[in-house]
Amino acid sequence: MKLRLAAIALIVVGVGAVALVMVGPTFGASDSSKYTTATVTRGTVSSDAVATGTIAASTVYGLKFGSTPDIVSTTATTSGTGGSITSNSNSNSNSSTTLTWPVQTVSVTVGQTVTKGTVLATADSTAAQLQLASAQATLASAQSKLTTDSAGPDSLTKAEAKNQLDQASNAYSQAKANKTNTNAQNALKLSQAQEVLTAAQDAYNSDPSTDNANALQSAQDSFNNTQASVNQSNQQAAQQVTNAYLSYEAAKLSYEGKIAPASTATIQADQAAVAAAQVTVNADQAAVTGATITAPADGLIIAVNVLPNVNAPSGYAVEESVGPMVANCSFAESDIAKLKIGQTASVSISGATSSAVAGTLTQIVPVASSSGGSSSVATYAVTVTLTSPPDTVLAGMSATVTVTTASVDNVLRVPATALEGSASSGYEVLVVDGDSTTATPVTVGLVTTSYAEIQSGLTEGQTVVTGTTSTRSSTSNTSSTNVDIQSLTGGSGAGGPGFAP
């Protein structure tokens, strides 16, 4: 069988004995090359995914006078697009933003570590207290109106309404009585005028003299005048009755309105007014309380933008980073399927510590943060929360994140370059026995770029061939590199990728 072997630098991963690489005898190789060998050892075989990223604080609070803390930035993801939330705007807006805050004291400096509740700065709250007093008065007025409307009219209001109704009723009754009397009096007047006219008519009929003719004309004129006066008087009396009736009906409606409880719409409007006034009071009370800025959590002061005896700016007076430090990094699409929340990670931060910092995967954004074109690969945002990092680890530092995606402990292993064969035809290694080699079939488990797990076929301490090396010529030495080690990795169980036949 023709062997295709490549010489590579052995990368030791995990625990266990370091494989010994040696130049062995020729074992039938050509005069110009020799075998490199290694010993079968017992230890750990692990596969890692590696990405670079940046250190950041998990949350940054922006603190200003008269307001509750704002989240300026956080590694928490609120949408599938991934990434961190960053906001430089003052999202916490209320009436306190219009107030002037004369700074009285500033108790912290940039870089200072503080605990929750620590007083960071104070300001004069006089303007906020005046605003609160005005809001409280508005609230009291709204509450009073709601109470009055809910209870209905009081006894005095009801008595006044009843008195007005009685007066209108009496006026209506009086108008009707006056009309009856007026009609009777007018009927008598008209009857008397009729009698005079009839007598004059009879006298003229008996003696049509000039005097009787004049008397008849005078009686006729008097009757006509009386009839006109009676008609007018009766009409006026009738109109007075109509007016009194209308006044009485209006008084009844007014009475019913004054003694009836407030309508549902009125009560709801009163309740809305009380609620709005309460919101204003709460905001103004918070503004008064906010004249003293305290740390919302244990953390590190990263910005101080105020000075004593100077009015505070409209933006943040103090900014504090809180929570554990995190490493935000981007893993390639080939690695993302192997990552899971809760996996441990090792984070190297060259600018802060010579030792790697332990961490845990706390977030994997399921949408690519960059998509692959003809010359790029899709990457996915991953957040690793650091476990007890030293104080020298600061936001903005570069980091290399290593996540062990697969690992087996206390297993037989050989350098990955010792394998030859394929998943379909099976694998074998060349075992060194004295001055000869024997091709030995093996069953493999986890295979990485450094090691291959041997599940059967070899015993600890055996020597295997890992490649060939050319004899020295002049001052240079060359070795074969015609094996693609990447094609070996990623396998598990008895099958796995290997050399092309």
Question: What pLDDT, in 10s, does the model give residues 294-350?
Answer: 999 999 999 999 999 999 998 999 999 998 889 999 999 989 999 999 999 999 998
Q: How far apart are CA 421 and CA 428, in angstroms?
A: 6
Assess contact for 293 and 27: CB atoms under 8 A: no
The mean per-residue pLDDT over the stretch 454-469 comes to: 92
Assess contact for 449 and 11: CB atoms under 8 A: yes
The mean per-residue pLDDT over the stretch 159-164 comes to: 87
Which pLDDT value is given to residue 17? 33
The mean per-residue pLDDT over the stretch 405-429 comes to: 91
The mean per-residue pLDDT over the stretch 90-109 comes to: 77
> Does some domain include residue 338?
no
The mean per-residue pLDDT over the stretch 470-495 comes to: 39
Identify which has the larger pLDDT, 351 or 472. 351
> Does some domain include residue 450?
no
Has residue 27 got a pLDDT over 60?
no
Assess contact for 94 and 283: CB atoms under 8 A: yes
Percentage of the chain lying above the pLDDT 70 cut: 81
Q: How many residues does the chain have?
A: 501
Confidence of residue 360 (pLDDT cuts 50, 70, 90): very high
The mean per-residue pLDDT over the stretch 439-458 comes to: 93
Identify which has the larger pLDDT, 369 or 467. 467
> Does some domain include residue 220?
yes
3-state secondary structure of 7: coil
> Does some domain include residue 166?
yes
Which pLDDT value is given to residue 157? 80
Q: How far apart are CA 28 and CA 6, in angstroms?
A: 17
Assess contact for 482 and 8: CB atoms under 8 A: no
The mean per-residue pLDDT over the stretch 460-477 comes to: 68
Q: Which residues pair with 360 in a beta bridge?
A: 344, 385
Which pLDDT value is given to residue 492? 36
Has residue 137 got a pLDDT over 50?
yes
Which pLDDT value is given to residue 370? 67
Left (φ > 0), alpha (ψ -120 to 50) or beta: where does 117 sit? left
> Does some domain include residue 180?
yes
Which pLDDT value is given to residue 351? 79
Which pLDDT value is given to residue 13? 34
Which pLDDT value is given to residue 482? 33
> Does some domain include residue 213?
yes
Which pLDDT value is given to residue 435? 86
Which pLDDT value is given to residue 470? 56
Has residue 291 got a pLDDT over 90?
yes
Closest C-alpha among 241, 222, 224, 223 to residue 183: 241
Domain of residue 194: give its range: 155-260
Tally of domains in the chain: 1
Which pLDDT value is given to residue 499? 32
Q: What token pair was written down for 32?
A: 């110009």
Has residue 22 got a pLDDT over 50?
no
Confidence of residue 2 (pLDDT cuts 50, 70, 90): very low
Which pLDDT value is given to residue 475? 34
pLDDT per residue over 32-64, tens digit each? 458 899 999 999 999 899 999 999 988 999 999
Percentage of the chain lying above the pLDDT 90 cut: 58
> Does some domain include residue 414?
no
- Mean pLDDT for the chain? 82
Has residue 497 got a pLDDT over 60?
no
Name the DSSP class of 356: P
pLDDT per residue over 166-215, tens digit each? 999 999 999 999 999 999 999 998 999 899 999 999 989 998 999 889 98
Closest C-alpha among 499, 491, 500 to residue 444: 491
Which pLDDT value is given to residue 169? 93
> Does some domain include residue 253?
yes
Confidence of residue 103 (pLDDT cuts 50, 70, 90): very high
Closest C-alpha among 83, 63, 59 to residue 73: 59
Q: What token pair was written down for 16?
A: 């266990």
Task: Find the largest Cα–Cα distance for the chain.
Answer: 186
Q: How far apart are CA 6 and CA 449, in angstroms?
A: 13
Which pLDDT value is given to residue 290? 93
Best-predicted range by mean pLDDT among 74-88, 218-232, 254-268?
A: 218-232
